[in-house]
Structure 1
Amino acid sequence: MPSPATEARAGGPRRSRQYLDALPVGLLSKPLAYLMADHLRQRVLCHVLDRLAEEDETDAGAAADVAWHLQHEMRLHVIDEEEDLFPLLRRRGQGDEVVGEVLGRLALDHELDAAMSREIVQGLAAVIAAPAGADMPEALREVLRALARNQRQHVALENAVVIPLAKQRLTREDLRNLSLRMAARRGVMVRLKEHEPA
């Protein structure tokens, strides 16, 4: 489903921003695949953040899409990991110190990224409301670049370590519960097949 900001636009070209839209609900039946698809969206987000940081004249539609994504889609993704995936991995990690260190680092990343996201949402709202042609503050450009940089590193670590660990260690019941909780968080229901891969 497109973001409200996207639907409100006058119809200019969206290019890669279409990939910031919500993922198909059916993919929630495969929770790890859903998280991987979300990581792809985050890489697209990084591209848009960098582009906004370099533009002489801010694309208001892109700015609104980014703000909406950070407030809604990114927030849900972090909750999926912090409240469900990471606790499951700790439970199945059997005291593995490496797993604990990686998850601890990622949790700190989430806190830092959340703070930057709040700053970006507020800053972009001010830019959108400003008169046409007004310059984006350099401080906001720096935060946009910083979030893009942090997110690229964060996603790379999760794809290289967390997702493979989850595929290896989580049980079928773990994955089923993860799927149901992620779906409930989004206010939807999913139909799970008994032998459906994650």
Structure 2
Amino acid sequence: LDRIDLTMMGLVLGVTVVGLKVVGLILVVALLIIPPVTARFWTNRVELVVLLAGAFGGISAWLGAGLSASAPDLPTGPLIVLVSFGAFAISMAFAPRRGLLSSLVRHRRFQTGVHVRQGLLALAQGQPIYEPLTIRLLRGRGLARADGMPTREGAIRAARALRDEKRWEIARATPALELAAARYDGRTRIEEVLTADQIAEIDRRIGPPEAVQ
């Protein structure tokens, strides 16, 4: 263990030993665990986690003690734990990077992107689209007509998506590009992964793009 680990373990041990006699086991455990976990939803940096955990713990203790003082029948310790848990629940739900809401939004965007791309590939190859969501998304973006045929913009986007898919197929079959090709998730454009020279070499193997009628 390095010096930082030993220091943190020593601080945790000291807080636990002192806190057990002062406030009891439940409050000590709650304030040692909940604030750091809450802070972790908001940042990846260790120093910020430490600062935020201290802030969450201090605010929870202040609010819990204040609520207990305003209502003498309510015990201080459980109120502090409840306030701390409330901060944890809010962070878990609404944190911009790790919160449940942001995760749902990212999943929805990813799902939409996959449906649109697969729909464009189907249009480019003249295949029927049976998934109602895919058809609805394509029509909503002006890429397909009510009869399932592509619009002018849809045909251009479909040809571009098909060529991009062919590029990925060659990249996956090329040992030197195998690691980069593993990043393909069904919607990532190859320009986001490979260099211009690598794409140019792949295009040379594919041939010139076909004109869209």
Q: TM-score, normalised by structure 1?
A: 0.22
Say which structure, 1 or 2, has more relative contact order (CA 8 Å, 6+ apart). Answer: 1
Structure 2-normalised TM-score? 0.21
Query: Looking at CA atoms only, which structure, 1 or 2, has the larger radius of gyration?
Result: 2
